[in-house]
Amino acid sequence: MYLSDHNPPHFHVFYNEDEVVFTILDLKIIRGNLPRRVRNFVLEWAFERREELMKNWELAQARKPLVKLSPLE
């Protein structure tokens, strides 16, 4: 996530050489592609943290420091 980034609310995933962008509200890929297994891990992680992701999005829009989110357990 980047400060003052464009809408819709989203987050970036970096895997190997690729960058993939997911929307926060419906967890759809809006740019890039991931292997199915990796995509499923990201979706599970993001689904469990959607509220935290939105709070970070709001912080980013206000140009405030983001809160580090826990990894998938």
pLDDT for 35 equals 96
pLDDT digits (tens, 9 = 90+) for 8-57: 999 999 999 999 999 999 999 999 999 999 999 999 999 999 999 999 99
In this predicted structure, the answer to whether residue 67 has a pLDDT above a threshold of 80 is yes
Closest by CA position to 33, among listed 19, 47, 43, 46: 19
* Number of domains the chain contains: 1
What is the C-alpha to C-alpha distance for residues 6 and 36, in angstroms, rounded to an integer? 27
- With 0-12 / 13-18 / 19 or more C-beta atoms within 10 angstroms meaning exposed / middle / buried, residue 51 is exposed
Task: Please check whether residue 11 is in contact with residue 19, taking contact to mean a CB–CB distance below 8 angstroms.
Answer: no
Residue 71 lies in a domain: no
Residue 36 lies in a domain: yes
pTM: 0.90
- Provide the residue range defining the domain that includes 18: 10-61
Placement of tokens 């980034």 in the chain: 5
